[in-house]
Chains A and B, each alone.
Chain A
């Protein structure tokens, strides 16, 4: 035990010998916090330029209150759709043409009249939509537009239906009966499958911060590889000639484990500071399992590749594979068999799924066992071949 602690101490001393490693560790939460700060600014996956007025003629009439209400509803809740209010249709269309917006929505100057006719079953155009490409996101954005228009439409349907069956409803009665609530309960509840933490709402967090955890998991893996490279260089320089095979394996574990530990610790801090972490205990547990998996995997890779140069060759490709096969930005369905070999795949899914937490545990145990077995086998082979360990 004392030997282990001594080796750990010496390894960490070596890592922190130059300021570079400490500066790098501090940069992890700093970068994450900067991104968190940036994400508070006005932004959107889809940007829509909305015009409430239509040219000079409307400037004297002013903004139609009904259209103004629609705009307020569109901007009411935090959304991944961003709305830019423009003074005229030409401005909105120009914004879309120049790429400042993905589309322009120009409300009809006869919005109220069009809505009244639509409520009677004769749909009229209430808005012109100008877009470069009518993608799924554009169509889904129009669903939001309809949801924002719907209260106006619903009131008109209500009034029109009653007028057609019972006669015109007085304004007082309209206000009273339209605002009646059938029930306080919502018709829809939201759930996340197999989730450890159930949401209060369907949408959580800021989309710009979603990839932070994935990118940090890549960085932790890179730390393990970099430490393995460091170890390989030291071994080549003869730093460990006095150690047996198992001794060398323990040194490798100290190198990779230390680098992974510190990077993981600062990553946890980054997650906390950006508000993307869940329960502290659960995060610690997941990071521990992930750290063990990565440490063991880096040990296995070094044993297979043997040289530091090959590890540095592998690293960029490995980074890309993690980005492609793990749910960092997108959830690709291809090559799922290979995804499951990556600890990051299980780690990233485990945040929202207890099932994947179990698979992360199995991965950690599996890789740790494989690493130990490989170390034992190599030491035996060296003995059998008569080579100095």
Chain B
């Protein structure tokens, strides 16, 4: 037993030395990775999507601005309509609109062709407004705006049909009372009534802003998400150590009394400890960037660096569980290509379903519950609890159980592979013991 313990310690030190040999490379990758995460985070927070959606969406308007009706409608929309706080309408030429749309400066643009007003006025509808967007796959905001555009289209049509209906009723029943011109004027009056109702629609709703209470702010949420993303990708640079397994070495260690379980623990501890070591500078760098960029995070106090470093205790358990899972993947998928690819596939999938990109709330409820239960989701909960100041004992326990489970499975996999590779060796051992 003592021999096994000293053998285990020796093997752990050996693993540490292997990692130390790669230390400059790992240090470099951690710096590059942290820089990339910070760059993504900075771009995200300073973009329209990440600015906590207080900014409005931008829509271009293309049309004949000499047309007085178009000018009037545009002025009214820009100055009177309550949508001006959510949607920014910007007149421009079509070339500029196409260019801006392609560059992502506009969510969409609307083309109002010449003769549209007359087409509506005379109920021909043979001249249509064209709503031009990019492919919806580039953003949720675009999809939302497109949905609203559909609703607005239906709304316009309903109003038009109602005015037509009123005029038809007047023609059919009151032709002796109203001349055709007067019926037309009634149509204008009714249109203005509808317009007034639309412009004053915000008065139909009373808004109560209740505040965040015990949930994270948008920025607080994404700080935890980006830390998790960093963790999920941090296993990839360790692939030279773990992706290509030397089964003969493992068999030799087994003969020296170091069981597969002990081997796995020693390698895992060296791996997790190294990742944990680099979390500190990564967190500090994140805090420095947040401070330098002047990003206000509601959950943070005066010093962003201190607040980021205060997440370290949660990072310990997050690292343990995520690294445990990554280690298991390296053990199951051997070889450089599968080893790296499985890390990338699971990192991206886990990051996606646990809400590192789209907020977790975008997913179905059952999916959210399942994702929170998994190692990556548990890690995210640990970070969020720490940021909110919640104790979260359940998440810690779950993290430790996942770590244990992953390591046991890794040890089992190694044992099976060792047996499969050299079944004779163990048969000989048993014979000699017998």
B96 interface residue (CB < 8 Å to A): no
B302 interface residue (CB < 8 Å to A): no
B99–chain A nearest beta-carbon distance, Å: 10
B29 contacts A316, C-beta separation under 8 Å: yes
Residues from chain B with Cβ under 8 Å of A211 in the complex: 352, 357-358
Query: Which of chain A's residues has its CB closest to B42's CB?
Result: A334
The 8 Å CB contact of B143, one of A80, A259, A313, is A80
A22–chain B nearest beta-carbon distance, Å: 9
A240 interface residue (CB < 8 Å to B): no
B138 contacts A327, C-beta separation under 8 Å: yes
In B337-391, the 8 Å CB interface with A consists of 337-342, 344-345, 347-349, 352-353, 357-358, 361-367
Number of interface residues of B (CB under 8 A): 138
Q: Which of A60-68, A138-146, A363-371 contacts B (4 or more CB under 8 A)?
A: A138-146
A147 contacts B364, C-beta separation under 8 Å: no
Residues from chain A with Cβ under 8 Å of B150 in the complex: 188, 190, 201-203
Residues from chain B with Cβ under 8 Å of A229 in the complex: 239, 336-337, 340
In A5-31, the 8 Å CB interface with B consists of 15, 18, 20-21, 23-24, 27-28, 31
Residues from chain B with Cβ under 8 Å of A319 in the complex: 233, 344, 347-348
A376 interface residue (CB < 8 Å to B): no
B208 contacts A128, C-beta separation under 8 Å: yes
0 or 1 for each of B138-164: is its CB under 8 Å from A? (1 = yes): 111101111111111111111111111
The 8 Å CB contact of A179, one of B165, B209, B349, is B165
- With A188-B149, A190-B131, A316-B33 as given contacts, are A219 and B344 in contact (CB-CB < 8 Å)? yes
Most buried by A among B164, B207, B344: B344
- With A127-B204, A157-B197, A324-B39 as given contacts, are A193 and B132 in contact (CB-CB < 8 Å)? yes
B147 contacts A203, C-beta separation under 8 Å: yes
Residues from chain B with Cβ under 8 Å of A153 in the complex: 197
A213 interface residue (CB < 8 Å to B): yes
A132 contacts B211, C-beta separation under 8 Å: yes
The 8 Å CB contact of A233, one of B36, B40, B244, is B244
B238–chain A nearest beta-carbon distance, Å: 8
B271–chain A nearest beta-carbon distance, Å: 14
Q: Which of A48-56, A94-102, A281-289, A380-388 contacts B (4 or more CB under 8 A)?
A: A94-102
A193 and B125 CA atoms in complex are apart in Å by 23
Residues from chain A with Cβ under 8 Å of B338 in the complex: 18, 20-21, 23-24
A308 interface residue (CB < 8 Å to B): yes
Residues from chain A with Cβ under 8 Å of B166 in the complex: 158, 161-162, 177
Q: Which of B2-10, B67-75, B100-108 contacts A (4 or more CB under 8 A)?
A: B100-108
B426 interface residue (CB < 8 Å to A): no
**14 sample A-B contacts, Cβ–Cβ < 8 Å, listed by A number:** A23-B333, A23-B338, A41-B366, A124-B204, A131-B208, A132-B211, A165-B186, A193-B134, A208-B358, A218-B344, A223-B337, A320-B36, A320-B233, A352-B135
In the complex, the 9 A-B pairs of residues with the closest C-beta atoms, listed nearest first:
A352-B135, A20-B338, A41-B364, A188-B153, A147-B151, A123-B203, A182-B164, A183-B125, A320-B36
